[in-house]
Structure 1
Amino acid sequence: MELHSDVEKEKVAEVVNQFKGKIYQRPPVRSSVKRRLRVKKIHDIEIVDSEGRLYLLKISSDPGTYMRKICHDIGIILGCGAHMRELRRIKSGIFTEDNLVTLQEVSEALYMWKNCKDETDLRKILMPMEIGLCGIPKIIIDDNTVDAISYGAPLNSPGIVAYQNFRKGDMVGILTLKGEAVSIGIAKVDSDKIPDRGEVISTKRVLIQRDLYPKAWKK
C-alpha cells in the first residue's frame, strides 16, 4: 500500500487495526461483480514492514475481499489517500505458494511427456482433483446414486452412506465409495437434521463423467 502523503506510523497502525473483524465493502468501479454493499470478515491484518509512504500488509480474509479497496479505504480514514501498489496471494484454501509451479515447468513437463514418453515431471505437477475438496465437509454416496448426480440431480438422503458434519448453506463435496469426486453442492439442511427422505444437497457443479456408474434412475 502506498500513502499519498506522509503520516505518522503510529496513526497508520491504529487505522489498519480498525479493519480487523467484519467490514462493509462495496466492490471497486472496475470489477467483475455488481457493486452492492457486502459484509466481509478480515480474520487478521498486520503491518509487516514500512518504508516512507510504502506499507507491506499481510491480510487473511474471507473469499472475495478486495484488497485494493481496503488500501483505498485506509487512505480515506487517514485523510491522505492511498492505493494498492502490489498484490501477492500466498494462500488460497489449502493451497499455498509451496504448491505452485511455473508455466515454464508445465511446458517442459508436457514436452517430456509428448516427445519423450516420460511422464515423471508431469506426475509431480498434476494433483488429483479430490485434493481441491479438502477443507469442506464431504459426503460419501452409494454407487447407485452416482449416475443420477452426474446428470445434475440433487442428492437425496437414501443415497448417503457416510458424512462429515455440515450446516445448512455450506458447500459440500460428494464422493464415491472409492473416494472419487462426484460433485459439489449446497446443503439444504443441517447434517443432524437429515430427513429419512428428501433433498439434502443441491448440486451446483458436476465433477464426474456421465454413465461411468450403473444407471438406477428413470428419466
Structure 2
Amino acid sequence: MNSFENDDELKKLLECGIIAVDKPQGPTSHQVTAWVGEMLGGDIRIGHGGTLDPMVSGVLIIMLGRAVRLAPVILKHRKEYIAIMRLHGDVPRKEIERVAEEFKGRTYQRPPRKSAVRRQLRIRSIYDIEVLDVDKRLVLLRVDCEAGTYIRSLCIHMALALGVGGQMEELRRSKSGGLGLPDICTLHDLKDACEFAKEGDADLLKSFIYPAERLISEIPVVTIRNSAVDAICHGAQLAGVGIIARDNYKKGSRVAVMTEKSELVCLGEALISSEEYKPGDTGIVIDPKIVVMKPKTYKKGWTKHEKSE
C-alpha cells in the first residue's frame, strides 16, 4: 500500500489516471516510467504510451492502474512534433515552404537504421508541416502527423528534395492526442508534488494526474443509462435499449462507452453503424473490448431470470 491511500480523490486517480510527463533527453521512455512508479510508491501498475527515443524530449503519457489497458488508444494517437532540420546547403525560405507543402498527405517511409523496429516500408499521413523559422541552414518545423511517423526520415527526405541533403538535428514531441505541452509536468515537479502529498498536501499531485477520459478525445462517444453500466463491467454486450445518445460512427469503429456523468466504462467495437439504429432500439450494437470501470461502481440494473419448472 502506498502512502496516498488516505486521500479518496487521489486514490481514485491513481487507480485509473494518466500523467503527461515532459520526458527529458537522455533516459529511455521505460526509465522515465519506472522513475514515476517509484515516486508514486512502487506498488501501482504503470505503463507508457508512444515510445520516445532517448534523445527525443516532450510529451510522454504515463498510464496508472486500469488506465494501462488503454495503451492501444495512445499508440494510435495523432502526434505533433517540433523538429530542427539541418541542411547541408543554403536554401531560400520560400523554397523550403514549397517543399514542405509537397510532403503533406500520405507518404512512404522506411524506419531509420537507429529505429528499434523492422525497417519495413510503410505509409503514414502527414496532416500539416509548418516552417516556423529559418536560421541560415537550420530549419525549425512543426509537424502534425499520424502515429508511427518517423520525423528523422521526413527531414532526410525533405532535405533531399531541396537538393542539398541534411538531417534531423533535434526533436521534441509537443502533442499526443488531446494532451500537449500545457498539460505536462517535469520529473522534478512531479517529485516535489509526491513529497508534498506524503506530508498531507496532495493538491499539486492531483493537478498533475488526469482522469483516463482525457485519452479518448479523438474517439466517438456512446452514452449509456446508469442501469446498463454494471452489466457492461461484467462483460455483457451493449444493446440499443441501454443507449441514451451516440456520436456518428461506422461499423467496425472503436467507440468509447460513457456514463451519464461522462465517466469511461469501456472501449468497444461498433457492430453496426450509428445510422442503423436509434437510442432505445432493441438489438446488440456494441461489443466491449477494453473494460476500464470496476464492477459494482454502479448498482446492478439487470437480473437473472430463474428457469420455470
What is the aligned partner in structure 1 of residue 150 from structure 2? 66
For structure 1, list consecutive stretches of 5 or more residues without a partner in the other structure. Answer: none
Q: CA deviation at 1:70?
A: 0.8
TM-score, reference length from structure 1: 0.82
AA aligned to 2:295 is R
* Residue in structure 1 matching 2:105, options 21, 25, 32: 21
Indicate how the Cα distance of structure 1 residues 21 and 210 shifts in structure 2: closer, same or farther if over 3 A, else same.
same
Q: CA deviation at 1:174?
A: 1.0
The one of 265, 270, 289 equivalent to 1:204 is 289
CA deviation after TM superposition for structure 1 residue 33, in Å: 4.9
Aligned-residue sequence identity (percent) comes to 38
Helix, strand or coil for the counterpart of 2:222? strand
Is 1:77 the counterpart of 2:161? The answer is: yes
Question: Is the aligned partner of 1:157 residue 2:249?
Answer: no
CA deviation after TM superposition for structure 1 residue 181, in Å: 1.0
Find the counterpart in structure 2 of residue 57 from structure 1.
141
Residue of structure 2 in register with 1:216 after alignment: 302
Q: How does 1:115-194 map onto structure 2 within 5 Å?
A: 116-194=199-277
Question: How far 1:161 sits from its partner (Å)?
Answer: 2.2
Tell me, in whole angstroms, the C-alpha distance in 1 between the residues paired with 2:146 and 2:169.
Answer: 21
Amino acid corresponding to residue 216 of structure 1 in structure 2:
W
Which residue number in structure 2 is paired with residue 100 of structure 1?
184
- Is contact 1:148–1:217 with CA below 8 Å preserved after alignment? no
1:107–1:166 CA distance, 2 compared to 1 (3 A): same
Alpha-carbon distance in structure 2 between the residues aligned to 1:30 and 1:188? 41
Report the Cα offset of residue 59 of structure 1.
1.5
The two structures, once aligned, show a CA RMSD in angstroms of 2.7
Question: How many residue pairs are counted as aligned between the two chains?
Answer: 216
Report the Cα distance in structure 2 between the residues aligned to 1:139 and 1:151, rounded to whole angstroms: 18
Structure-1 separation of matches of 2:263 and 2:291: 12
Structure 2 unmatched ranges of 5 or more: 1-84, 305-309
In the TM superposition, residue 147 of structure 1 has moved relative to its aligned partner by 2.9
Q: Which amino acid aligns with 1:146?
A: V
Instruction: Tell me the TM-score normalized by structure 2.
Output: 0.61
Letter in 1 for 2:124: K
The Cα of 1:67 is off from its aligned counterpart by 1.3
1:12 is matched by which residue type in structure 2?
Answer: I
Structure 2 distance, partners of 1:29, 1:149, is 45
